[in-house]
Amino acid sequence: MSEQGMIQIDMLGGFGVTYGGKDVTPGRNAGAKFLSFLQMLLLSLSDGLSREDVVHTLFADADVANISNSLNNLVYQTRKQLERAGLPADTTIRKKKDRYYLVSAVPVSTDVDLFLQSIPAPEKASEDTLRQTLSLYSGDLLPGTKGIEWIDERRVSLADAYKQAIADLAAIYRKKGDARKLTELYAQAVQITSDEEALLDAALIRSLIDIGDTHAAFRHYDRTLRSFQSRGRGRIPEALEECARLLSLTGNSADPVNLRSSLRDVVDIDAEETEAEKNGAFYCNYPSFIDAVKLLRRNLPRDHRPATLMLLTLVDYEGKPLSMKRKQEQYSRELHLAIHSALRIGDSFTRHDEISFLVLLPGADEDNAVTIYNRIARKLKEKAGSNTAVRYRMLSLNAV
């Protein structure tokens, strides 16, 4: 059947609904509850969506006495949105035995189902079948819905299936000795899917080293490391640590041209930083921050300048440390931005835990540090409002 006679749903890399060749995506507010409900329905076309899953996912904080009314209103609102979007009149939601179903006389096709159906059985996996499967994965599932646990679980499952297909095709390329295709495979993969442990990025870096493009390997290592740090992670993934070791070995050459290139790579390591990154304080991972503190302390006897270490912690309006996970994530991002913009380019900071940052202030005594803290607190209030605040503890490195 032609696409003109079906409803096409795209959920990989973003959300879109087309019918008759026209965009008919219901609603435009990514945070609308009815839209999350509709997306859950679309991910459950064959089996339906249980009432329990809807309640647990979308009404976890609601008053139990009002759940039934809230569910009825949600279904009604979603039906109206489907109608307003311009979908066929018989496209609606039905409930059967505590399960909700999206039904339509017009066939409904999703890119998620097409991807899952294309995954070959192990005995039929070939270069062609795997490339076809990978071509259908255009991005992680509904990236705008992160934090909705039910969808998060399916996003991880789909990404794992994609990464397994990558691994299977990579094994074929390795067996053929085709390093160039292997590099291209990983280069495309890191653009499409997120990887909390940076395994795909590390694989790309190793592939670039194997084909002799150490400059590209070095640049991608730096880009990956900075991206990892910007997400507030403490320890560098082991895969990236191994890449750092391999990159250091590539510089062990007697060729003066290679030596000069290696030195230039080190000097230009910040070449891809944005102007905002270069103009603010330097954010580094926790181990690097500790090394910076050690180095600064070694220089204090001959430098004679003051230096202060500060711990900044997010608290609520009562002065208690933030405990809700969502608030921790939201306001720690705001605090990160406030610290970065409030400090000098020679200052550095790192994440200490979910709600705390460590700040290193060379040249600042405790009075200067209090002034800097006040500047950070003002910037945080500008970004986050009065729902949260930041408190400080400080230590003069000259006195320890």
Per residue in 17-45, pLDDT tens?
Answer: 999 889 999 977 767 899 999 999 999 99
Handedness of CA 377, 380, 385, 387 (dihedral sign): negative
Backbone angles phi, psi at 6, to 5 degrees: -145, 165
Whether the CB-CB separation of 311 and 252 falls below 8 Å is answered with no
Cβ atoms of 376 and 342 within 8 Å: the answer is yes
Q: Which fold has domain 3-111?
A: Arc Repressor Mutant, subunit A (1.10.10)
pLDDT of residue 47: 94
What's the pLDDT band for 400 if we cut at 50, 70, 90?
Answer: low
Residue 1 and residue 107 in contact, taking contact as beta carbons nearer than 8 Å? yes
Phi-psi group of 98: left, alpha or beta (phi > 0 → left; psi -120 to 50 → alpha; rest → beta): left
Four-way CATH pick for 117-276: 1.25.40, 1.20.120, 3.40.50, 1.10.8: 1.25.40
The span from the CA of 313 to the CA of 328, in Å, is 11
**pLDDT computed for residue 207 by the predictor:** 95
Split at pLDDT 50, 70, 90, the class of 5 is: confident
Q: Indicate whether 291 pLDDT > 90.
A: no
Q: Could you give the CA distance from residue 90 to residue 158 in angstroms, rounded to a whole number?
A: 30
Instruction: Tell the residue number behind the tokens 């339509």, with chain if given.
Output: 104
Q: Is the pLDDT of residue 1 over 50?
A: no
Say whether pLDDT at 399 is over 50.
yes
Whole-number CA gyration radius for the chain: 26
**Lowest mean per-residue pLDDT among 108-112, 244-248, 274-278, 307-311:** 274-278
Q: What is the pLDDT of residues 222-269, one digit of tens each?
A: 888 777 766 655 567 888 888 888 887 775 444 444 545 555 555 555
Per-domain residue ranges of the chain? 3-111, 117-276, 278-399
Better-predicted residue by pLDDT, 233 or 280: 280
Q: Which residue, 331, 354, 359, is CA-closest to 344?
A: 359
For 149, the 3-state DSSP assignment is helix
Averaged over 376-394, what is the pLDDT?
87
The pLDDT of residue 2 is 47
Mean pLDDT score of the chain, rounded to an integer?
A: 86
Q: Which two tokens stand for residue 95?
A: 């409930």
What pTM does this model have? 0.69
* H helix runs in the chain, sequence order: 33-42, 51-58, 67-85, 111-118, 127-135, 149-176, 179-192, 199-210, 214-230, 238-250, 256-267, 275-279, 286-303, 325-342, 366-384
Provide the pLDDT confidence category of residue 392 given band limits of 50, 70 and 90. Answer: very high
Q: How far apart are alpha carbons 42 and 24 in whole angstroms?
A: 15
pLDDT single digits (tens) 149-169: 999 999 999 999 999 999 999
Q: How far apart are CA 94 and CA 104, in angstroms?
A: 10
Of 305, 277, 316, whose CA–CA distance to 362 is shortest? Answer: 305
Residue range 297-326: average pLDDT?
85
State residue 256's pLDDT score: 45
Helix (H, G, I), strand (E, B) or coil at 101: strand
What is the distance between the alpha carbons of residues 385 and 331, in angstroms, rounded to a whole number?
A: 10
* Domain 278-399, second-level architecture: 2-Layer Sandwich (3.30)
- Angle at which helix 51-58 crosses helix 33-42, to 10 degrees, equals 140
Q: Report the pLDDT value the prediction gives residue 386, as an integer from 0 to 100.
A: 77
Distance CA 209, CA 218 (A): 9
The residues, any chain, with a CB within 8 Å of residue 147's CB and separated by 6 or more, are 326
Cα 159–chain centre separation: 13
> Per mean pLDDT, which range of 58-67, 84-93, 333-342 is the poorest?
58-67
Across the range 366-390, mean pLDDT stands at 88
Q: In this model, does residue 63 exceed pLDDT 80?
A: no
pLDDT tens profile 42-54: 999 999 999 999 9
* N-term to C-term CA, the chain: 76
Top pLDDT among 147 and 142 is at 142
Average pLDDT, stretch 375-379?
92
